């Protein structure tokens, strides 16, 4: 599987987790503190996957420059 596809899948999963936790925080349930932690975790996961996609893109550009 392509690294960019894996990173995209990870970003999609993190986005869904972020939205779910955000709705729970907005509803102010009893589990709000753990939902805030989930929000932060989902944000960090999204950022990490975005960085992986960026690095994969840079690696691909470098490889194409070497081969050209």
User: What would the pLDDT profile of 9-65 be if each residue is shown by its tens digit?
Assistant: 999 999 999 999 889 888 876 667 888 899 999 999 999 999 999 999 999 999 999
pLDDT reported for residue 2:
86
The structure's pTM equals: 0.78
Q: Return the C-alpha torsion angle 63, 65, 67, 68, nearest 10.
A: 160
pLDDT reported for residue 31:
65
């Amino acid at each position: 599987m392509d690294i960019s596809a894996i990173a995209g899948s990870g970003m999609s999963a993190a986005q869904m987790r972020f939205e779910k936790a955000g709705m729970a925080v907005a509803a102010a349930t009893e589990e709000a503190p753990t939902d805030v932690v989930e929000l932060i975790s989902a944000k960090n996961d999204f950022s990490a996957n975005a960085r992986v996609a960026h690095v994969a893109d840079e690696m691909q550009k470098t490889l194409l420059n070497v081969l050209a």
